[in-house]
Amino acid sequence: MIWFIEALRKTFNFSGRSRRKEYWMFILVTFIISVILTILEMSLGLEFNENFGILTTLFSLILLIPSLSVTVRRLHDTGKSGWWILISLIPLIGGIVILIFTFMDSEPGSNKYGPNPKKAAI
């Protein structure tokens, strides 16, 4: 949970680097909360229709900027420009490319986006 809170704390920080652990823990906690909200919506009948619920839609909107910023910082950690996030607008292929980039290991040492966060954590 600490990694999720750390990513939220850096919501408007699109510079610097984020480790794989910070990124994937943010994704995991987001997924778990989304599942809980979906179950809650289904049990309370809070859906807009069969595909969209009120709580999950609000949660997604609230996490839009934090998700973008943690992804940009993750791309920076692999040595990629944050602009690579725009490739996710290409259906299927863009998502696969971003997935591959986010699984990549950190660039060793400092890069143009800052010091290696993995070294700072040790």
Domain boundaries defined on the chain:
2-121
**pLDDT the model gives residue 77:** 96
pLDDT of res. 75: 97
Q: Measured between alpha carbons, how far is 69 from 46 in angstroms, rounded to an integer?
A: 29
Residue 46 confidence (pLDDT): 78
The pLDDT value given to residue 120:
63
Instruction: Please tell me the predicted confidence (pLDDT) of residue 62.
Output: 96
pTM, full prediction: 0.89
| pLDDT (tens place) for every residue of the chain, 122 residues total | 788 898 889 999 999 999 999 999 999 999 999 999 989 988 888 777 777 788 899 999 999 999 999 999 999 999 999 999 999 999 999 999 999 999 999 999 999 999 998 876 55
